[in-house]
Structure 1
Amino acid sequence: MLIATNAALVASNSALHASNSALHASNLALRACDPDAGVQTVIPALSRTPSAGIPAPTIFHTGQPRVQVQSSRIRDLNLHLNQNAAVEAWQAGVPRVESPPVSYEPEPIVLHDGRVTYIKTGFLGEGGFGEVLLARAVPNSENQDLSFPTDVAIKRFPKRRLRHVKYTFEAACLEMDLMKQATEKQLRFVVHLLSTFQDEENVYLVMPAYGRDLFHYLRRGERRMPMNEIRLYAAQMILALEEIHSLGVVHRDIKPENVFFDRHGYLVFGDFSIAGYPDGETFEQGKLYDFSGTPCRYAPEQLGPDREVKGYNYKIDIFNVGSMILEMFIGKGDSYFQESKRDEGEKEILNKDIWPDCQIFVENKAARDLITGMLERDPEKRLTIPEIKAHRFFRKM
């Protein structure tokens, strides 16, 4: 049963977890947060506010002087108030550094947050909210931090978009907050936040870089996954989903491109840019009503004509994980629900009979039962996380 899966994973890797805990304890421990006082939760290795003997954050650039960080407090943001004022309040809690003068000479991008230098080594991607850089992290000689990874990903949010595009600002705030919580709670299957800082033009979020995502792993074309491998990754997906929902949010964009392998082979879920807090007395009762997600990755209740009235809840994430488990059995790396032209993908989600493909590609009867239960079109009948963890498919773990 998957109820014991988390314990089994930890038990089999106790040395690994002990090491990770020791590495993170000094660098990623959070101070207590006082929401009523409007004080930002601070992670010493995260916001990098300088202390005595530690240089203020700056961007390394020839002839560019260093400047002190402006001390301030981040206030409880009301995202429905004046957007510029909210952006300024949010930025006030992020260490500020000076931008280098504009240069048209080709030179490497080098950033500094006060304790760690980041040297850009690549470009990972770009979306509606910003872009993600690959960088090598070099801690200062006086601040050697053995727990800080060498390879990091830096999400860069242009301030001009934060000031003028509301959803970009909300996405940046939410993603930073969720990764902070994941770091504070030491969640095993969710991306952690390593540092935050800013300059005149951008706000930066630093997180570990991962060598491979599930999308490219499934598309490698070498072979179909063996049953035990699928079972292991499916178990980790369910545990990741449980951790995400423990933060009170619905991910809404679960897909292989947002699932990464860490250096120990564990799956880690990332990209919370369109996550949402459901509105309700409890998380289970809470509803979301806006249309967010990736084409071919919606749950049926997101596509119905009464979505704006009835809404949808956390079970859309369960539907998406069920799709990925089926895709692991098929082994091609493509989204199970396809769109050959406009609206075709939505029609498949609403109408496609998955049973024939389950019979062809999913030889294990328990796995077929699990997948059909997770892909149940009626969210009221769809399996819950406790039911999935107790499912017979995971009894051999």
Structure 2
Amino acid sequence: MTSSSIPSPPEAPADAASPPAKKAEDEQAMGLKTKADFLFLEELGEGSYSTVYLGSDRNTHTRFAIKVCSKAQIMREKKIQQIFREKECLQKLSRPESYHPFIVRLYCTFQDNESLYFVLSLASRQDLLGVLKKKKKLTVEEARFTTSEIVAALTHIHAHGIIHRDVKPENLLISQSGHIVLSDFGCAKMLEPTTPEPAPPTPAPSSEAPDGPPRTGRRCSFVGTAHYVSPEVLNNKIIHEGVDYWALGCIVFQLLAGDRPFNDVSEYFIFKRITSLRYEFPADFPDANAKSLIESLLLIDPDDRLGTRAKGGFSGFKEHPFFEGVDWKGLPDSVSPLMATK
């Protein structure tokens, strides 16, 4: 098989990768694109089989993040199905009725003999990990705001039958206005919908949310990042949206403690700590409600975790005291406390 022989799934209808109505002018401008339609300005990041560039549309001068995936490397790493799943998830979440301001948008895809191209919304050059490297840890107010937006993004993708499976600070971009943008759906999995799952209100053109993920998930091989991977993944058990909420618990801990809850000298010992739930809060941990939230997320049984269907979905977060006073509907328009750190 040559590098140009990766089959391409049928392109989605024109509106499948479209932004919401307020971005209609971008939708109309995109159309069918090729590499020649963009200027590749500089490299933003690199993965095992892809490189992300800052790109500019030659006609509109709109800037995007363009993910360029090497076909040869995709085949060497046997990631063909994974790259198609990523495209499918992004297309679903980028439809007008599925739009969410805290989730990266896919504007279009195309390919040539050597590469597949994903043209994505450009958040900024900073991610949550970069913020933590500068500050080491956040204030309780900053952590509450950040966690609220992560919760809004996660409950939204779960309501659309998608689990991310690689939630970590590096994949949480910070927009120019200081808001969270969930990115990198390379490990995402789309599950068949069954019964409705409540999600937080979003400023989408349609207020209707599709069905949530099923309670019968699926077994999977290890994906994600060692420090944030859940026990059920390590034990090759059935997974569902609870894998993302485990990672959320690890992130909240890191935001306020300045370090990850599960650390050791090697992945083997990190995994041992995770599967035996061995972690400790530092003596100066700043907030009892945040501690309670973390303890409700870092639980061995995924059905026991806050946010899962068994625990009431999004309503469980709304009722937790850590989120008291959060204006969930108004989050996208609120002033971010992270702006002071940019």
TM-score by length of 1: 0.65
Residue 181 of structure 1 corresponds to: 92
- Higher radius of gyration, 1 or 2: 1
- For residue 190 of structure 2, give the secondary structure of its aligned residue in structure 1: coil
Residue 243 of structure 1 corresponds to: 156
Q: For 1:312, which of 228, 239, 244 is the aligned residue?
A: 239
Q: 1:284 to 1:388 in 2, by over 3 A?
A: farther
Offset of residue 27 of structure 1: 3.0
Offset of residue 250 of structure 1: 1.2
* CA–CA distance in structure 1, aligned partners of residues 220 and 132 of structure 2: 31
Q: Does 1:370 align with 2:293?
A: yes
Residue 219 of structure 2 corresponds to: 289
Q: Residue type of the partner of 1:311? A: I
Offset of residue 206 of structure 1: 1.1
What whole-Å deviation, never above 9, does each CA across 1:282-330 have from its counterpart, x for those lacking one? 51413121122222221112222xx2xx422210100101110110001
Residue 48 of structure 2 corresponds to: 128
Q: For 2:281, which of 357, 364, 382 is the aligned residue?
A: 357
2:66·2:117 contact (CA, 8 Å) conserved in 1? yes
1:144-293 equivalences in 2 (<5 Å): 144=60, 149-150=62-63, 152-162=64-74, 164=75, 167-184=78-95, 185-209=98-122, 210-220=124-134, 222=135, 224-278=137-191, 281=194, 283-291=213-221, 292-293=223-224
1:255·1:297 contact (CA, 8 Å) conserved in 2? yes
Offset of residue 45 of structure 1: 4.7
- For residue 206 of structure 1, give the secondary structure of its aligned residue in structure 2: strand
* CA–CA distance in structure 2, aligned partners of residues 233 and 165 of structure 1: 37
- For residue 53 of structure 2, give the secondary structure of its aligned residue in structure 1: strand
* CA–CA distance in structure 2, aligned partners of residues 166 and 211 of structure 1: 28
Offset of residue 191 of structure 1: 0.3
TM-score by length of 2: 0.74
User: What is the aligned length?
Assistant: 281
* CA–CA distance in structure 1, aligned partners of residues 274 and 193 of structure 2: 27
Offset of residue 183 of structure 1: 2.0
Q: Residue type of the partner of 1:157? A: C
Unaligned runs of 5+ in 2: 1-18, 196-212, 308-312, 327-342
* CA–CA distance in structure 2, aligned partners of residues 138 and 27 of structure 1: 10
Offset of residue 223 of structure 1: 5.7
Offset of residue 265 of structure 1: 1.1
Residue 396 of structure 1 corresponds to: 325
Q: Residue type of the partner of 2:257? A: I
Offset of residue 23 of structure 1: 4.1
1:339·1:346 contact (CA, 8 Å) conserved in 2? no
Q: Residue type of the partner of 2:276? A: N
Offset of residue 171 of structure 1: 2.2
What whole-Å deviation, never above 9, does each CA across 1:367-395 have from its counterpart, x for those lacking one? 11111001112223221242122211111
2:71·2:116 contact (CA, 8 Å) conserved in 1? yes
* CA–CA distance in structure 2, aligned partners of residues 161 and 284 of structure 1: 33
What whole-Å deviation, never above 9, does each CA across 1:353-376 have from its counterpart, x for those lacking one? 43x416x24332221111100111
Offset of residue 343 of structure 1: 0.3
Unaligned runs of 5+ in 1: 1-19, 29-43, 50-56, 59-110
Q: Residue type of the partner of 1:322? A: G
Offset of residue 225 of structure 1: 1.6
Q: 1:329 to 1:345 in 2, by over 3 A?
A: same
1:299·1:319 contact (CA, 8 Å) conserved in 2? yes
